[in-house]
Amino acid sequence: MTSQLQTEGHPLVELQGVSKVYGRGTAAMKALRGVNLRIDEGEFVAVMGPSGSGKSTCMNILGCLDTPTEGKYLFKDVEVGALTRDQRALLRRHHLGFVFQGFNLLNRTSALENVELPLIYRGVKVEERHSRASKALALVGLAGWEYHTPGELSGGQQQRVAIARAIVTEPAILLADEPTGNLDTARSIEIMELLTSFNQEQGITIIMVTHEQQMAHFASRVVQFQDGLVLADKANGETL
């Protein structure tokens, strides 16, 4: 049975009866099976579940990287499925920030240049790009490291650069896919504290996929997926 957590804020994203099927006929695989999920502005939600549970597919749909086979995805009450591909790309570019397990930094470019990338896609002028990227790096504790390449940074520092790149556009939502997966425990906690500060101090809504219970404890709410369905949806501290 799907459990829904009722929240009092304004819905930022909402999935209504979302199913996702890959393949056809006997090869068809249902990744999602009629998922209902609402996330409000300012929430910090951890998404958990075993491999194949549907959590990554759900994140891809929320990030406009995939589309539902059935059902609706609403972003600020706009049905995303009714948008063109170009409009979805603009939604990603202007409203969403992404952080991945593998950092996804350009190896031969500086931290500053890596953080500037989303602003280049937006057509922001050079001086403003430099200023905003420098401020984002300072926010993640990397003032003075602007001209170091990823190879000159630790894993934790590289993830901080990736987070700075994700927040430099001031997104409505930060989508984090296993953001501590390649880090040791101490660095993982540092990254989680950083994400928590952005959520609490700047009001950025965070949706994070993680398989680590210790990291999920930093979220205010935990959504558990199993077999393409929301198995449990609880405020953190409640028993799943």
Domain ranges, ordered by start, for the chain: 11-235
pLDDT tops 50 at residue 4:
no
Structure confidence at residue 238 (pLDDT): 62
SS3 61: helix
Q: If one looks up domain 11-235 in CATH, what number appears?
A: 3.40.50.300
What is the pLDDT averaged over residues 164-188?
Answer: 93
Residues in the chain: 240
> 7: pLDDT confidence band, cut at 50, 70 and 90?
very low
> 40: pLDDT confidence band, cut at 50, 70 and 90?
very high
Q: Are 237 and 62 in contact (CB under 8 A)?
A: no
Q: What is the DSSP letter of 236?
A: B
CA distances from 211 to 55, 180, 234 (A): 10, 10, 16
Per-residue pLDDT reduced to its tens digit, 101-154: 888 899 999 999 999 999 998 889 999 999 999 999 999 999 999 999 999 999
Per-residue pLDDT reduced to its tens digit, 61-96: 999 999 999 999 999 999 998 999 999 999 998 999
What would the two tokens of residue 155 be? 């894993």
pLDDT tops 90 at residue 45:
yes
Put residue 49 in one of left, alpha, beta given phi > 0 → left and psi -120 to 50 → alpha.
left
Q: What is the DSSP letter of 6?
A: -
Percent of the chain with pLDDT strictly greater than 90: 82
- Cα–Cα dist 171/216, whole Å: 22
